[in-house]
Amino acid sequence: MLIKNAEIYQAGLNDLRVEQGIITAIGRLSPRPDETVVDAFSGALLPGLHDHHIHFLSYAASWASLDCGPAAAPNSQVFAQLLQQQTPGIEWLRGIGYHESIAGDIDCHWLDQYCLNRPVRIQHRSGRLWMFNSMGLAILKGSLYRSTNPPTLPAEGLRSGRFYDADQALASLLGRQLPPVSHASKKLASYGITGFSDMTPSNDRDTLALFQQLQSQHLLLQNIRLARRSVLDVADTADLTADALGPVKIHLHENRLPALQDLIERIHLSHTAGAAVAIHCVTEIELLFSLAALEEAGSIAGDRIEHAAVTPEHALDRMRALNLTVVTQPGFIAEKGDTYLRDMAAADQDSLYRCNAFLKANIALAGSSDAPFGSADPWAAMKAAVTRRTTSGQTVGRDEALTPEQALALFLGSLENPGQPRRIMTGVSADLCLLKHPWSISRTRLQSEDIQLVICKGIPIHQRAQLFEKTS
Ligand SMILES: [Zn+2]
């Protein structure tokens, strides 16, 4: 593939060739016979973005579980609209929290009016009743028919799609449902994301195997790296790709901290096995506790502080001395800033989700979404890092504002070394994000709508318009 007339980020206007997933040439290049050509029309070409802290399966599940409670759906019309808004697909639409005050005792016929092309199951808020549409019911019946040891399901339920207290039977027939990972992965691709670190604390060898299987089935399009529960969990997984193994995730909770010595030993055990640690710190106490443990255990390259939601000035030198990387979520300033301003003491507000202070202190800083607990759109996060503005327009920690280039850099680090931005050059994997406008314009907009084309390992994983041309 040849990308013509791209404004290569921090390198100027040029052409770029991709072969076998690698950038093989940058310069003024002529198309070869049969080569696919993309004209970038001077749009900025960036390294593919990386989300350095996400919970991918939960993010995918968030697309599948529709809030059907009375607050989200106060009446039957709104509920019907909710069902219709969901894209048809082969994956289940799973609704939760339904109450009959919304649309009465609904059954498969009622659901079919609004969602016929996708299997649906809606759970009553009591948790005791599931309501299926006809496509969902058909899948259930197919599974019942194929089962060698079928569970008993009432005939009335198989007619109406309503099943009371049948969770075990339903689970045995439907199995553990995989959330709509393909949809979630495509959504991330549409934001320019070509790689992410999944920081879910319960990740184990099964999770890694699942992610790698999803990649091989092309349901998961991004490069991945997984934090893990412990080094022992995946110690002897020679069959699994080692570079997908991230740090050991340590989840601290201020109100039930472990003994300091236990944390020191856990860090030491990880380091001895060659694994860095990523410690969850959302309060000042959690951060100071972690720093005390790391100072005792010693730090290694790759050790990270997740969130660093509250960082007092005096902690900065200690973090620098330990050579830690901070993985923050600037998007929370926009999304949750109003709540912080309301609930936090004014004196603490300046230490909230700091950005510039880390850069000034020479601490490696990387960005992430923490999706589904924050928006997965890194452009919204970049905008928040630049403006420091909340949804209602208030400002949080003005001194922590970044330039658009610094904000972009938060998402350009490699998965292994998130604080060190990658650059587009020959010989590296073709993980690229092409924008509609040159950077001088894009930097004032910072919006995912400007993304034209996203390439991961040389393969387009998202494109906005028909950009490709084939030379003859
Ligand atoms: Zn998280």
- For position 30, which CATH number holds? 2.30.40.10
pLDDT confidence of residue 413:
98
Residue 205 and residue 156 in one domain:
no
Q: State in Å: Cα 271 to ligand 1 middle.
A: 22
Radius of gyration of the chain from its Cα atoms, rounded to whole angstroms: 24
Higher pLDDT, 187 or 66: 187
Q: State in Å: Cα 373 to ligand 1 middle.
A: 7
Q: State in Å: Cα 366 to ligand 1 middle.
A: 14
Q: State in Å: Cα 370 to ligand 1 middle.
A: 5
Q: State in Å: Cα 307 to ligand 1 middle.
A: 8
Residue 165 and residue 300 in one domain:
no
Residues 409-427 pLDDT 10s: 999 999 999 999 999 999 9
Range of the domain at 283: 181-409
Q: State in Å: Cα 57 to ligand 1 middle.
A: 12
Q: State in Å: Cα 304 to ligand 1 middle.
A: 13
Residue 161 and residue 191 in one domain:
no
- Which stretches of 181-270 are assigned E, i.e. beta strand? 193-198, 223-228, 245-251
Residue 127 and residue 170 in one domain:
yes
pLDDT confidence of residue 235:
52
- Evaluate whether residue 29 is within a structural domain: yes
Q: State in Å: Cα 368 to ligand 1 middle.
A: 9
- Evaluate whether residue 399 is within a structural domain: yes
Residue 219 and residue 144 in one domain:
no
Residue 293 and residue 252 in one domain:
yes
Residue 389 and residue 433 in one domain:
no
- Evaluate whether residue 73 is within a structural domain: no
Q: What is the pTM of this model?
A: 0.81
Q: State in Å: Cα 272 to ligand 1 middle.
A: 25
Residue 389 burial (10 A CB sphere; 0-12, 13-18, 19+)? middle
Residue 242 and residue 359 in one domain:
yes
The mean pLDDT value for 275-292 works out to: 96
- Evaluate whether residue 60 is within a structural domain: no
Q: State in Å: Cα 283 to ligand 1 middle.
A: 14
Residue 255 and residue 399 in one domain:
yes
Residue 168 and residue 195 in one domain:
no
- For position 137, which CATH number holds? 3.10.310.70
- For position 289, which CATH number holds? 3.20.20.140
- Evaluate whether residue 363 is within a structural domain: yes
pLDDT confidence of residue 34:
93
Count: domains in the chain: 3
Alpha-carbon distance of 80 to 95, in angstroms, equals: 12
Residue 118 and residue 207 in one domain:
no
Alpha-carbon distance of 349 to 229, in angstroms, equals: 32
Q: State in Å: Cα 199 to ligand 1 middle.
A: 6
Q: State in Å: Cα 200 to ligand 1 middle.
A: 6
Q: State in Å: Cα 217 to ligand 1 middle.
A: 26
- Evaluate whether residue 68 is within a structural domain: no
- Evaluate whether residue 354 is within a structural domain: yes
Domain boundary among 146, 174, 202: 174
- Evaluate whether residue 275 is within a structural domain: yes
Residues 149-177 pLDDT 10s: 999 999 999 999 999 989 879 978 987 66
Is residue 197 within 8 Å of 226, Cβ to Cβ?
Answer: yes
Q: How confident is the model at residue 308 (pLDDT cuts 50, 70, 90)?
A: very high
Two tokens, residue 132 = 């299926």
